[in-house]
Chains A and B, each alone.
Chain A
């Protein structure tokens, strides 16, 4: 695979449980311990700089790991700083969207921050182009497809976001500034499709593009 530069270089933030499909599948578990209720605020995490790689990357898993969940998603890329924005002010702050494969080591519990699971080197392959918001249009009509070794393993639509983009950015920017060049992912699916070491993965999104990478075993891996 040809190696490309990732289209973004700022901080990358993600959110879980921002689609009705995931909330529905977790179902009654959300009310039980340890969660004791559906989340009120967006459930955020950070993909640190070392996770961001471009299309064509070979991603080595931490020792002992042999599979990753491929969280197919879009990143909102900011064209200006976003702080304490009302929803109606959000579109003007967005430069565009980029396709992202947010990789996680499979983890069943969302109780504690999943740092090892989500922050290993290379855990955030990012597409090569930020597509202007005007070209992307309505996110609700976008589907994301995940292929492993050429086979379609997962399809999701962005029509079922719990918080749409203006609401998500407004809620996040209430307490943390998103800077120009930062990226906020719109959400990943609970227990997304997995890819094993040795496989080639491709995530593509209508009108936004695609990102491809290979999963390799880490040194000393089982």
Chain B
């Protein structure tokens, strides 16, 4: 199954895909795109993100692959939905997207064994983990100013339940900027796979339903500018669309 969340007519609705790119409400009515606002498909709890979790990307950034997962966290401010806007500040010279498989936890667990880890997965979504490299500093790197900016981590459009994805470690990822493909990879190239990440994180903290693990990105990063339309897509999971805006647009009053 695929589930989305939208805001429509003053309420939040869980929806499923309808006909002709519409979404279907619980009562069967179908609503067309443009009539509603996409929300992140889950109300997120703790959001983890992985750095340097693809060998090719680590090489691209001139780092050797880490020996333990390089994990950082995001606050609720960072997460935004499908078809939302993300801000590129005027002083930034390099803001790049990162297409990532998002793993949504569905069952509480602490010290989860690798072989039991997939039982704790509710499903998957697509994340775009934008970074503004100008703000990188060498303290708790990548720091929050780079990675926890308001609405700079789009998530969605769908939560795809675990049973729909036969092998999450064999999915094609791609990013298009204004229709042109700029990033291509496969989840097969992850350094630490999903069971390893779940076992590692739960070795010191309890994972709960709604927690999300963004599993890192392959090579193929590129600068994005205000006005760019960025599509991050994962085979079988979905295509997440986001538009970059400048400070004036971001701060404009309606």
Contact = CB atoms under 8 A, between A and B. Distances in A.
Secondary structure dominating the interface of B: loop
B181 interface: no
B205 interface: yes
A49 B75 contact: no
A72 to B, nearest CB: 20
Interface in B155-179: none
B209 interface: no
Nearest to A114: B140
A11 B75 contact: yes
A121 B205 contact: yes
Give the interface size class of chain B.
Answer: 20 to 34
Contacts, number: 106
B135 A112 contact: no
Interface in B89-145: 110-111, 135, 137-145
B73 to A, nearest CB: 4
Interface in B183-212: 201, 203-206, 208
Interface in B72-87: 72-78
B74 A46 contact: yes
Contacts of B46: 48-50
Nearest to A63: B203
A68 B226 CA distance: 45
B78 A48 contact: no
Interface string A113-145: 111100111000000000000000000000000
Contacts of A219: 111
B73 A115 contact: yes
A120 B76 contact: no
A145 B46 CA distance: 31
A84 B150 CA distance: 11
A9 interface: no
A28 interface: no
B205 A43 contact: no
A116 B204 contact: yes
B77 A41 contact: no
Nearest to A11: B75
B204 A121 contact: yes
Contacts of A110: 139-140
Contacts of A16: 139-140
Give the interface size class of chain A.
Answer: 35 or more
Nearest to B211: A48
Nearest to B145: A41
A50 B205 CA distance: 7
Interface string A85-99: 000000000000000
B22 interface: no
Nearest to A117: B204
B13 interface: no
Interface string A37-51: 101110111101111
A215 to B, nearest CB: 15
A37 B138 CA distance: 8
B145 A50 contact: no
Interface stretch (A150-158, A160-168, A173-181, A195-203): A173-181
A177 B208 CA distance: 24
B140 A176 contact: no
A122 to B, nearest CB: 9
A112 B45 CA distance: 22
13 contacts: A11-B75, A16-B139, A16-B140, A35-B139, A41-B145, A43-B139, A43-B140, A44-B143, A46-B75, A113-B141, A121-B110, A175-B148, A175-B150
Given A43-B139, A46-B75, A120-B205, 6 more contacts: A45-B140, A46-B144, A49-B208, A63-B203, A112-B70, A120-B204
Interface of A: 11, 13, 16-17, 34-37, 39-41, 43-46, 48-51, 62-63, 83-84, 110-116, 119-121, 175-179, 219
The 5 closest A-B pairs by CB, nearest first: A62-B204, A48-B46, A46-B73, A44-B144, A43-B139
Interface of B: 45-46, 48, 70-78, 110-111, 135, 137-145, 148-150, 201, 203-206, 208, 251
